[in-house]
Structures are given as C-alpha cells and as structure tokens.
Amino acid sequence: MSDLMKNASVTMEEVAGRTLRTATWRLNEPSEHLPILFFNGIGANIEAVAPLAEAMPERGFIMFDMPGVGESPDPVIPYNPFTMSWTAAELLGRFGLGDVDVMGVSWGGAMAQHFALQHPARTRRLTLIATTPGMAMVPGNPAAFTKMANPRRYIDPEFMNEHFATLYGGVDADGAAHQKDSHIGRLKPPSPRGYMYQLLCMLGWTSLPALPFLKKETLIMMGEDDQIVRPINGQILKAMIPNARIQMFEGGGHLFLLTHADESVAAIREFLDAPETDEEKSRLEAYAA
C-alpha cells in the first residue's frame, strides 16, 4: 500500500451484488463531524483523491472504486445512477453509518446530486466540485474532450505533462512537475469495460428538473479556467438549487481540488462547519418523526 493510503482501511466489500474496493478513514475514531461519502471522477481510483481525506483528519471518509475502476472488479451488467446510489447507501449501512455529508467531483458530482435526491434522509450537506447537471451541461473545450478520450492520459506521464493545460486548464503554483507527479502517479487505468459502463451510466441523465426540490445546503466549487466543465455549469446549478452557494477558484482548472488544495480544504471546512440553519433543523426533525 502506498504511503498515501497508509492511514486508510482498504477492504473488498460485497454489497448489492457488486464487489467494491472501499477505503475508509477514521470511521472508528470519535469526531464532532459527520463522515464524508465521496464520489470520484470518471475513471479515477481512490488514490486520486486520497490527499483530501488526509488533509481533513478531523473527519471520517468513505469512498470506493466504481466497478471496473481501480481495483474493483469489472461490472457484469451496466448500472445507472439509481442503482449505484442504492449500492452506496447499502455500503454506508455495512459500515454502520446513517447520515453523512456527501461530496463528489466531476462525474462523481453528478452521482452526489443523485444520491442526495434519492436518499435525502442520509444526506446532511452537499459539496459539488467541478461538476454539471448532466446531459443539460454547457460543453467544455472540444480539445480537452479529445485528449480526455485518449487512454494514454492514465498511463503516460509524458502525454499527461504535454497536454495537462489542454486537458484540465488552470495554473498550479507548484509547476508542471508537480502536476505530473502528483496526479499521474496516483492514477490506475480503468478497464475498457469499466470506463465504458461509467460513461453509459450517465447517458441521458440530468438532474435539472429535480434540482429545485434539492433542499440541502449546497456548496458548488468551480475552477475559473476549467477546460472540461465550464464555470457556467456551476452558475446553472446555483440557480436551480434553492440553498446553494458558489465559490470560484481563480486560476483553477478541472483539478483545482488538488492544485489549490489548501484553498479548497478551507472552503469545504468553512461550509461544513457552519451552524445548522433553521431549515436544516426542521428537516431533521421531520425525518426523525
């Protein structure tokens, strides 16, 4: 296990008919905060976002490799946001977790929206990072999508370094070497079937009609120079989600969660630590009843 995962408990969980490689941090340690359920980006394994879990030691985390991604076995049959949200809820139950703070990045941000809509009683607050309302999104830079479709981005550091700006946009104060080493070094290529099924999962899906009914306190985080998810997608989410706020990251590309890590963690902490609103208290009382 890499040093990045040395504080994680990694298990293979049989849940809802699927085998999922699952990582948890600090679930058995006392905390004043709810744990975070994290949904990763397309094709990305747990290690890609493990630095976030390490950067927030006051909270428990749970995340998993999607079928055919990382070290989770290939899916036998396709899945969709409904079945995978149900699977995630079953996984929470496996670890004895009730309600959680839900977070997702990019593709995983769409999953986080669906989970919050499908399981409102399990969701306290919602953090959406570099994401969209699904098929109703404003498309990104065509050049970025061309490079994104090339599997070399997972396995070839030279390709990643050469096309990093086109792929992800943004400015990293630590420079290109940091971009290459910190990101490509943690990626494990998904299987062809795993990647295809992840693409198919969101085919035709959009959260847009349901977002006015999403009453959760929501933080939307967007990079101003994101080449894959244009910042206007965050503005659409903010306009449609009643209790949403948005934070733009100056110079941030699609990976600002990693390249602007300190700033990102500070924003997440400020949002999650804010006192409960009257509306949240009334919703919790209604769920309890």
What does the alpha-carbon distance between residue 202 and residue 56 come to, in Å, rounded to a whole number? 30
User: Which residue intervals of 151-217 are DSSP H helices?
Assistant: 152-155, 157-168, 176-179, 192-201
Whether residue 72 lies in the annotated active site: no
Identify any residues that bridge with 12 across adjacent strands, giving them in sequence order. Answer: 21
Catalytic residue among 72, 106, 207, 264: 106
User: Following DSSP, what letter does each residue of 104-118 receive, concatenated?
Assistant: EETHHHHHHHHHHHH
CA angle 196, 72, 86 (to 5 degrees): 80
- DSSP state, 138? P
Closest to 129 measured CA to CA, from 265, 273, 280, 274: 265
Closest to 261 measured CA to CA, from 50, 20, 120, 89: 50
Active site residues: 106
